[in-house]
Copies of this chain bind each other. A is one copy, B any other.
Amino acid sequence: MKGREFKDAMYDGLAKMLKSISNPARLEIIEMLSQGEKSVEGIVQATNLTIANASQHLQVLKNNNIVKSRKEKQYVYYSLVSDDFLSLYQHVIKYAVHEIAELEKIMNRQREDNKSLNAVNLDELETMIGNENVLLLDVRPSVEFEFGHITGAVSIPMNELMTHLKDFSKDKEIIAYCRGPFCVLADEAVKVLSEKGYKVRRLDEGYPEWKIKQLESN
């Protein structure tokens, strides 16, 4: 193989892989799957996609070795192929949110609307764990909590938050988190709770970021 052929083959292959993740619908699917495996139906419910379209995007991701599937009963469950990919995906997000002015602006506007501008990051969180006066709140659906969560977190899915208000003390500092920087559940939680007079901030990132950080520090 000549040098030019080798280069072309490598860059073509690389571009093909990158293309497979360069689509808003597929990025959202990846984000969903970073919480754990989901059926096609589960993905459809969380996104605006039709079933056929979601299935098609999943095939693209599968052909590029980003996701894998297993069949159980009538359902097909998809999940990310490896933590190495998850780590790469998070690097992309982190770069985009910090280095692309346009995206940073959109994110700040969103956080402003939800009074969640002064977010806590993972490093800060670490100094807070074990502190009696801090309550770490996981507002994702409970399936996702059960699949994995940040050590010490309490699960109260967003849609049950209002009925659990009485459980919270207004003296404690509440840190709400969900799926990651793009997830709006924690923003909503901050909005609701702060309007009721609680001390609450959101975690900048989410469960998968915490998980990868744990893995990488070992």
Cβ of A92 within 8 Å of any chain B Cβ, yes or no, is yes
CB nearest to A64 among chain B residues: B100
A21 to B28, CA, bound (A): 19
Residues of chain B with a CB closer than 8 A to A17's CB: 96, 100, 103
Contact between chains at A96 and B14 (CB < 8 Å): yes
Residues of chain B with a CB closer than 8 A to A51's CB: none
A143 to B143, CA, bound (A): 57
CB distance from A191 to the nearest CB of B (A): 11
When the two chains form the complex, which single residue of B10, B27, B48, B98 contacts A84, counting CB atoms closer than 8 Å?
A: B98
Cβ of A121 within 8 Å of any chain B Cβ, yes or no, is no
Contact between chains at B14 and A24 (CB < 8 Å): yes
Contact between chains at A110 and B1 (CB < 8 Å): yes
Residues of chain B with a CB closer than 8 A to A10's CB: 103, 106-107, 182
Residues of chain B with a CB closer than 8 A to A14's CB: 24, 27, 92-93, 96, 103
A187 to B21, CA, bound (A): 31
CB distance from A60 to the nearest CB of B (A): 13
Cβ of A160 within 8 Å of any chain B Cβ, yes or no, is no
* Interface SS majority for chain A: helix
A98 to B81, CA, bound (A): 13
A85 to B98, CA, bound (A): 11
Contact between chains at B113 and A3 (CB < 8 Å): no
Residues of chain B with a CB closer than 8 A to A6's CB: 106, 110, 182, 184
Cβ of A118 within 8 Å of any chain B Cβ, yes or no, is no
A187 to B10, CA, bound (A): 15
Cβ of A147 within 8 Å of any chain B Cβ, yes or no, is no
A128 to B61, CA, bound (A): 41
A-B contact pairs, 23 of them (CB 8 A): A1-B109, A6-B106, A7-B182, A8-B24, A10-B103, A10-B182, A11-B25, A13-B102, A13-B103, A14-B27, A15-B23, A15-B27, A17-B103, A18-B21, A18-B92, A19-B22, A65-B99, A65-B101, A84-B95, A84-B98, A84-B99, A85-B95, A85-B99
